[in-house]
Amino acid sequence: MAYASLEQCLIDLEKNGQLIRIKDVVDPYLEMAAIHLRVYQSKGPALLFENVKGSNYRAASNIFGTIDRSRFIFRNQLKTLERLIQLKNDPLSALKNPIESLSAAIAATQSIPLKNPISKPALFSEIKISDLPLIQHWPMDGGAFVTLPQVYSEDINQPGIRKSNLGMYRIQLNGNDYNKDTEIGLHYQLHRGIGVHQTNANKKGQPLKVSVFVGGPPAHTVSAVMPLPEGMSELSFAGVLGGRRFRYAYKDGFCISTDADFVITGEVYPEENKPEGPFGDHLGYYSLKHDFPLMRVHKVYARKNAIWPFTVVGRPPQEDTSFGDLIHEITGDAIQHEVPGLKELNAVDAAGVHPLLIAIGSERYTPYLPTKQPAELLTIANRMLGTGQLSLAKFLFITADEQNKISTKDIKKYFEFVLERVHWDRDVHFYTKTTIDTLDYSGESLNSGSKVVIAAYGDVIRNLANEIPQNFQALSEIFKCRIAMPGVVAVQTNAFKNYQDIEDEIAILNAKIEIQNTTNSEIALIVLCDDADFVSQNLNNFLWVTFTRCNPSHDIHGINAFVENKHWGCKGPLIIDARIKPHHAPPVEVDSKVEEKIEKHFKKGGALYQF
């Protein structure tokens, strides 16, 4: 159905047994987040907190907590939206299904934002920032944050809603050096449209007007995280996904979403920054305190009976995983149409999305040569690293599979396929001194680090070991070694001290590991870690530790490594140093006292008993 408000959606979920109301007073300091995390981990229902301590407003979370619930919310629009994307990618398909295509075209009229003819902001009452549910999610967070914001901005050179940008950039509501009720923090990262808008406003010496919408129809929230092509409006997408045109008005020069539950308006002045953070983020670590734009609050609006939606991010998977799954379902093979030769890709959620991208491409350049080696794959990889948010990938594994034996969805089988074929002396390609995800602290400084492409193609050259092989026995006598997956050994060594000691540590590994001249039971990858048992416990642990704690240019080594004509390679196994470094951000951890406190909600008689 087409929801006109967040409350309509929640009532619909409740009627279908997918929402629970919590009537007890709940503390927004850590307690609400802890309840959310436990319910999410159990694949539980959406939650409506009806009595938030210190606020007169209700709050809702876990709305998109499972992909099935996300599909349910948009059940009447998904097929139409997928058809519209298909028509864009293959216009001739309209001739094959004219009736279905016509209905999709009619639905596309919902993409046109609707300016309300009357002063709809009159439906809102003015409040203060301190009146909002000020939810702090993790113990070390710098304050309360908006975690499902829709941040709206316009280009000062091309004003108006058609050239606007809507993004989900976290908002810090209090704490640090922010003046209460008059200042909030605006955190946005690389490759975000709002950055272009602020640059253009700065050039004219004028403040950037920003509106933060919170709540409203769930399609508005999803549209704020969609990686849409340049020039495609998030507001248009919201209308199609929600089956209802995005409604707006202007007040005091600021755009107001008249369907939102809350709206915060304000201005960002040139060169006005204040420390924002720390914040427990979706890589599973805290993003630390850094200077980010300061937003001077103009006004704060709330609808009657408004509901504050929120989510909790931390080590994946979390609720934002469902966003990613939904995006993949909606967009289908849109990226493949944008990158010629690309067949399939997966931004691996368990590794924090941007740290690890795995892909399958075509290899058609030299079919006449007897030796199979990557060629077209490297062209595809370069194109991917220059495309939108794919450019934030830190590790990019890419291979070709003419017999369709593998899929990027089966991550374990994908890695086995690559590790059986990769030539470490040939297939490792570094990009140094470049940009990486703002939230990734494995690099040299904020936004700065390196990337690596591992392009493997050809026949099987090794059989992967399922147990510690003979040539690792000398190493296992001094370090704990565990098989993390076929061909991968986690080696628990001494804690990382500094990069000056690395050469000595790698020399020890070289001395203790003999390179085999056989394809039997080989180790292809060594992961240096702080806890080998943890890394080898399951696939998600391996992915999280290995790819979030490594800066490729600094932390990739190899047995019998060499540099030849500026190309790095190694004759033996590749080594990834995934130990925690002094400059890394700390991982997020729950508070044991808060965990005890929330038990009352899950015991018999509590709101969440047998949810």
Chain-centroid distance of CA 356 in Å reads 11
- pLDDT for residue 322: 86
- What does the alpha-carbon distance between residue 39 and residue 142 come to, in Å, rounded to a whole number? 25
- pLDDT for residue 99: 41
Q: Which two tokens stand for residue 442?
A: 């494995």
Residue type for 481, please? Answer: C
Residue type for 111, please? Answer: S
Residue type for 233, please? Answer: S
pLDDT digits (tens, 9 = 90+) for 527-555: 999 999 999 999 999 999 999 999 999 99
CA distances from 52 to 31, 58, 60, 134 (A): 10, 6, 10, 9
Three-state secondary structure string covering 528-551: EECCHHHHHHCHHHHHHHHHHCCC
- What does the alpha-carbon distance between residue 85 and residue 193 come to, in Å, rounded to a whole number? 22
- pLDDT for residue 101: 42
- pLDDT for residue 96: 44
Record the pTM.
0.89
- What does the alpha-carbon distance between residue 295 and residue 223 come to, in Å, rounded to a whole number? 23
Q: What b-and-e string marks burial along 551-579, b requiring 16 or more CB atoms within 10 Å of the CB?
A: bbbbbbbbbebeeeeeebbbebbbbbbbb
- What does the alpha-carbon distance between residue 138 and residue 559 come to, in Å, rounded to a whole number? 40
- pLDDT for residue 91: 43
Question: Are 450 and 396 within 8 A, CB to CB?
Answer: no
Question: Are 401 and 553 within 8 A, CB to CB?
Answer: no
Question: Are 570 and 561 within 8 A, CB to CB?
Answer: yes
- pLDDT for residue 343: 93
pLDDT digits (tens, 9 = 90+) for 267-281: 999 989 999 999 999
Residues in the chain: 611
Residue type for 411, please? Answer: I
- pLDDT for residue 105: 53
Burial classification of residue 530, based on how many CB atoms lie within 10 Å of its CB (0-12 exposed, 13-18 middle, 19 or more buried): middle
- pLDDT for residue 93: 42
Residues of the chain under the 50 pLDDT cut: 87, 89-104
Q: Which two tokens stand for residue 189?
A: 């990262």
Helix (H) or strand (E) run with residue 593 in it: helix 592-597
Q: Is 501 helix (H, G, I), strand (E, B) or coil?
A: helix
